[in-house]
Amino acid sequence: MDNLFSALHKYYEEMVSIRRYLHENPELSFQEVHTPAYIANYHRDLGLEVREGVGGRGVVATLRGAKPGKTVAIRADFDALAIQELNDIPFKSKVDGVMHACGHDGHTAIALVLAKTLYEMKEDFHGNIVFIHQFAEEITPGGAKPMIEDGCLDGVDVIFGTHLWAPTPLGDVSVRNGAIMAAADMFEITIHGKGGHGAEPHNSVDAIVTGSQFITQLQTVVSRRVDPLKSAVVSVGHFEAINPFNVIAEKVVIKGTVRTFEEGVRSFIENEIELLLKSICDGAHATYEFKFTRGYPPVVNHKKETQFLADIACQVPEVKNVAECSPLMVGEDFAYYLEKVPGTFFITGAKNPEWDIVYPHHHPKFNFDEKAMLIAAKTLGLAALTYLKNNK
């Protein structure tokens, strides 16, 4: 433990440097070229076994201990978002309209420096540690599923992952048995009416009014149709009708998201949305097209591995509080890994106590306290070494 922690402290400045380099050079989901090459070269220079192009753009690096044993996987994502950065920082994004606004630059830096640290300790442990560097977490269908299909979990006995979380205080580690993050689905609706002159609504079928009625009533799906003891969110994020001011719209496009934790609730809401849409369009003499796209399933942690991780986190000196968190309505394709092998996904607090304003994830001014990377690296590293030691 002491060797791991002291080595990570020694390489902390390198971790920060890697994070800032990646932050300056972000790449969008499914468009990552330089980032996976950088990751692969770093691992290769260390002496790890490296597979590139896994599932498309993923990188898998394997560190083998001195003797045979179990295999632990650690996953880190590396894609950025289509956001124009508004931070005034020395390492601001150099790519117009693209930004690491979710912490994936930090996740990658953690995994790379942890690999460097553990490589120096490989004579001391049994088994293997696999570093799964995943592309395209931000956009469905995501990178996890094709990477799994391409064998990134072959031979893996357990998997751990973390998300640096800016709203949670530095020093807090949050865990949860069972569902910790929601299924993230999308719906897209086109309502077709009958266009006409704004002065003659009686000769038209107003798609805007029909769409507005649907959006207003949509909230009753959760408040009046879903069991109040079960969690769900339905949100509309896009409402579009490209029309002059004095013309009644013939068509509107509505897009939104559904977040749930249970498959039954997920299917129920999908069905209820279309039933509501049909009834409103029928009453308005409009027609519609409805597309419901299932995104990532809920992230469901395994009980044994979650308790193991909680116990590990308590041994990290910088961790001040380990507690069970409430489920988060955000989505994460780490879910697919947990459907295949035991493991757990936890939250590492990254809120700088001196910042007056903490901007949320996916905000143009998002940032996190880089000291959280050290906490995450210590927790993941100690979890990997302890698991291998306990399961020789």
- Residues 6-23: tens digit of each pLDDT: 999 999 999 999 999 999
Q: How far apart are CA 293 and CA 66, in angstroms?
A: 46
Annotated binding residue 24: no
> Does 112 lie in the same domain as 39?
yes
Annotated binding residue 52: no
Q: What is the pLDDT of residue 244?
A: 93
Please enumerate in sequence order all residues whose Cβ is within 8 A of that of 148, keeping only pairs 6 or more positions apart, or say none: 55, 336, 337, 340
Q: How far apart are CA 331 and CA 184, in angstroms?
A: 5
Q: What is the pLDDT of residue 2?
A: 74
Instruction: Report how far apart the first and last C-alpha atoms of the chain are (Å, whole number).
Output: 17
Q: What are the residues facing 190 on neighbouring strands?
A: 253, 289
Domain harbouring 205, CATH code: 3.30.70.360
Q: What are the residues facing 205 on neighbouring strands?
A: 194
> Does 171 lie in the same domain as 237?
no
Annotated binding residue 126: no
Residue 77, classed as helix, strand or coil, is strand
> Does 155 lie in the same domain as 33?
yes
53-85 residue pLDDT tens: 999 999 999 999 999 999 999 999 999 999 999
Annotated binding residue 362: yes
Q: Which residues are catalytic?
A: 79, 137
Q: What is the pLDDT of residue 30?
A: 98
Q: What is the pLDDT of residue 392?
A: 83
Domain that holds residue 190: 183-294
Quote the radius of gyration of the chain (alpha carbons, Å): 24
Mean pLDDT by groups of 10 residues along the chain of 392 residues: 91 98 98 98 98 98 95 98 97 98 98 97 95 97 98 98 97 98 97 95 96 97 95 96 94 98 96 98 98 97 98 97 96 98 98 90 97 98 97 88
Q: How far apart are CA 190 and CA 241, in angstroms?
A: 10
Are 83 and 89 contacting, i.e. CB atoms less than 8 angstroms apart?
A: no
Work out how many domains the chain is built from and give that number: 2
Q: Is 208 exposed, middle or buried (0-12, 13-18, 19+ CB in 10 A)?
A: middle
> Does 358 lie in the same domain as 254?
no
Reading across the β-sheet that carries 49-54, which strands appear in turn? 49-54, 58-64, 126-134, 67-77, 158-169, 343-351, 172-175, 321-324
Where a domain ends, among 237, 271, 294? Answer: 294
> Does 167 lie in the same domain as 207?
no
How would you classify the pairing of strands 158-169 and 67-77?
parallel
Domain harbouring 67, CATH code: 3.40.630.10
Q: How far apart are CA 95 and CA 82, in angstroms?
A: 10
> Does 155 lie in the same domain as 193?
no
Q: What is the pLDDT of residue 13?
A: 98
Q: What is the pLDDT of residue 356?
A: 84
Q: How far apart are CA 160 and CA 375, in angstroms?
A: 14
Q: What is the pLDDT of residue 286?
A: 98
Coarse DSSP helix, strand, coil percentages of the chain, rounded to the nearest 5 percent: 35, 30, 35
Residue type, 392: K
HEC sequence for 273-339: HHHHHHHHHHHHCCEEEEEEEEEECCEEECHHHHHHHHHHHCCCCCCCEEEECCCECCCCCHHHHHH
> Does 333 lie in the same domain as 249?
no
